[in-house]
Amino acid sequence: MLQTQPLPFETALAEHRFFKVICGASYRNYDVIRWLAEVFTHAGAHAIDVGLDVGSVEAAVAGIRTAQAAGAGGDPAVMVSLDAGGDVHFFRIRLDRPECTDCGICLPSCRFGVFDLTPELQLEDQNCTGCRDCLPVCPTDALSLQAWGDAQDYAGLLEACWAAGARAIELHTGSGDEAGVQALWRLVADQRARWPLISFSVGDYGQGTEAVLALIRRIVGWAGSGIIIQVDGKPISGRTGVESTLPALELAARVMALDVSAFVQVAGGTNDLTGSLARERSLPIHGVGMGSFARAHLGLQAVHDPSQLDRWQSIQRARELVLSVHP
């Protein structure tokens, strides 16, 4: 019988060394997305996670092809994210212009260099990750977050993203509203054959751990085996140190104790310590996704023009993170 070769991400998941770089569901700086895709393809990543946006998919594919043309052997899957409703990853900064006094207090609060005060406050909102750090510092409440994706034509966008080269989908379960998640799943299930990698992103955003675990059981019941459960710890944080990554690992331990037939990958606060801490705790996670920390590790937090960076050094730094999952 003809044996089909497993896809690169299938092998990596089975071997507990899957690595995904997360560009962000609401992030739209195409130069940075292209750069992350290029250097992480060289570094051996298995997936590049972007928003449900044709420009983002095209940027990721262009980065992957550039790396392959330069000799990289990997072929990561480009993953697009959909929101079941109110998920924190789908928000971006909004300025209420009349309320803003151009005081500049918000400038240092943003790690991602979104604010520019020349001479009045401008937002480079394509660089916003929706981390919320700036919201409490504004004395006039001129800043807020605006949801992306409401009333989007998901079927049409999925079709366009597939045509642009996306091959993986992530369904963000948000506050855990089961009807919303199931509606999204029905849309994806109808076209499952064309999406070899499907992930559900699940976190405790106030609904409680037991509710999260119950939802995961039901998701695996609908979707069957072979899916990824992305366990989200501290969303869009990505700081250094143990404290940042522990919530993801603690929730992952509860999810793995369910013994469901799904791969468990952690994200949200993940960093270069996540893999070693999981090994110390004998927690056999199948992979790690990294977003804010990966960007900072490459020097791309407040730098929006990757041409200022050294390509070789960026590849080395990306490689450190990929290997941190499973040296």
- List residues binding ligand SF4 (CB under 6 A): 93, 100-106, 109-110, 112, 114, 121, 128-134, 138, 140, 142-143
Q: Among residues 242 and 302, whose Cβ is nearest to ligand SF4?
A: 302
Q: Among residues 138 and 184, whose Cβ is nearest to ligand SF4?
A: 138
CA distance 288 to 320: 13
Query: Residue 98 CB, nearest distance to ligand SF4 (Å)?
Result: 11
Closest CA to 165 of 195, 200, 191: 195
Distances (CA, A) of 286 to 12, 181, 206, 226, 228: 8, 23, 25, 12, 9
Say how many C-beta atoms besides its own lie within 10 A of residue 11's C-beta. 13
Query: Residue 267 CB, nearest distance to ligand SF4 (Å)?
Result: 17
Q: Among residues 134 and 158, whose Cβ is nearest to ligand SF4?
A: 134
Q: What are phi and psi of 77, to 5 degrees?
A: -80, 135
Query: Residue 105 CB, nearest distance to ligand SF4 (Å)?
Result: 4
Query: Residue 47 CB, nearest distance to ligand SF4 (Å)?
Result: 23
Say how many C-beta atoms besides its own lie within 10 A of residue 138's C-beta. 20
Q: Among residues 134 and 264, whose Cβ is nearest to ligand SF4?
A: 134
Q: Among residues 122 and 209, whose Cβ is nearest to ligand SF4?
A: 122
116: which 2 tokens?
């520019």
Sign of CA pseudo-dihedral 186, 187, 188, 193: positive
Q: Among residues 46 and 297, whose Cβ is nearest to ligand SF4?
A: 297
Provide long-range contacts, Cβ within 8 A and 24+ apart, for 216-222: 216/255, 216/258, 216/260, 216/262, 217/258, 217/260, 218/178, 219/173, 219/181, 219/185, 219/262, 220/260, 220/261, 220/262, 222/182, 222/185, 222/189
Query: CB–CB of 10/16 below 8 Å?
Result: no
Q: Among residues 97 and 151, whose Cβ is nearest to ligand SF4?
A: 97
118: which 2 tokens?
């020349």
Closest CA to 238 of 289, 282, 169: 289
Query: Residue 181 CB, nearest distance to ligand SF4 (Å)?
Result: 25
Query: Residue 37 CB, nearest distance to ligand SF4 (Å)?
Result: 21
Query: Residue 32 CB, nearest distance to ligand SF4 (Å)?
Result: 13
Distances (CA, A) of 59 to 34, 69, 74, 83, 319: 5, 15, 17, 21, 21
Query: Residue 57 CB, nearest distance to ligand SF4 (Å)?
Result: 22
Q: Among residues 48 and 93, whose Cβ is nearest to ligand SF4?
A: 93
Q: Among residues 100 and 323, whose Cβ is nearest to ligand SF4?
A: 100
Residues ≥6 apart with Cβ < 8 Å to 274:
245, 248, 249, 266, 288, 290, 324, 325
Farthest-apart Cα atoms in the chain, separation: 71
Query: Residue 250 CB, nearest distance to ligand SF4 (Å)?
Result: 25
